Amino acid sequence: MMGSQGLMTKGVPFEESEGVPMLFAWKNHVVPARYGCVFSSIDIMPTLASLAGLDAPGADGTDYSPLLAGKDFRTTEYAFTEFNYGGIGEKSRPWRAVFSEDYVYILAGPCRMRTEYFTEGYVLFDRKKDPYQMNPIVRGMGYDSIIDEYHRVLVSHLESTGDRFMEQMWNVSEEELPDMPYLNKYNPDPNLESGKSGQQVKGKIRRKG
C-alpha cells in the first residue's frame, strides 16, 4: 500500500493491494494487447495449461487462452478475494470481497478494516468513477440495488465453497471469532496453529511423507 489509505502493507481489499496486473508473453502464441477484464490468480493454472496443450480437469478458475490468442471470448464477470489473519498484535483480519470491472463489494469482520474503514460492516466502491476508493458507498446513496446484487453474489460464492465467514466472522465480536483457523471446506489452513493466548500464530508447515 505504501501509505495509500494510511496503510503500508497488503492484505487489505483496496485497489493498490488487489489490483495486480497480469502479464503473458509468448511469441507467435499470445497476441499483444491490453485488457481491463477481471482476472484472478486461480485463472493462471488453467490458462497456462491450455497454452501448453494440456488439460486441467477439475481446476478452479477460467481458461483465458482464447482471449490471449485474440479470439472472441467472454471473460469471467466476478473475482473473489479473502483474508483471515493479520499481523503481529492482531487476532484476525477477516474480510471477503467480490470484484467486477465496475465495482468492488467488501464485507469486513471485527478488525481494523471495520472499525476504521468499513464501519457498516460492508462497503461498495465504484471502480471506474472512484479508482482510488476515496468515496465509500453504503445504503441510501442511490446504489442499493447494486449492493443487494453484489451481496447475493458474494454470499452465494461463500456458501458454494463452504466458507463460514457469514456465520462465524462477520457480525460477531472479536472475542467470538473462532480460535482455530478454518478457511473453507477445501482448505483448513495447516500453516496456522492456535497459541496459548488464543491468538493465531504461525506454525510449522506440515508436509506429507
Is-contact 106 122, C-beta < 8 A?
yes
Distance of CA 88 to the CA centre of its chain: 21
Per-residue confidence in pLDDT tens, the chain, 209 aa: 556 776 767 778 888 878 888 999 999 999 999 998 899 999 999 999 999 999 888 888 999 999 999 999 988 899 999 888 766 666 678 899 999 999 999 999 887 788 788 889 999 999 999 999 999 999 999 999 999 999 999 999 999 988 888 988 888 877 777 665 555 555 555 444 444 333 434 333 333 34
By residue range, what is the domain housing residue 189? Answer: 78-202
SS3 68: helix
Domain assignment present for residue 117? The answer is: yes
- DSSP annotation of 77 reads S
SS3 41: helix
Domain count, the chain: 1
Domain assignment present for residue 190? The answer is: yes
Provide the pLDDT for residue 90.
Answer: 62
Domain assignment present for residue 141? The answer is: yes
Domain assignment present for residue 151? The answer is: yes
Stated pTM of the model: 0.78
Domain assignment present for residue 171? The answer is: yes
Domain assignment present for residue 127? The answer is: yes
Domain assignment present for residue 42? The answer is: no
> Pseudo-torsion of CA 9, 107, 185, 179, nearest 10°?
70
CATH of the domain at 191: 3.30.1120.10
Domain assignment present for residue 165? The answer is: yes
C-alpha cell at 96: 471477503
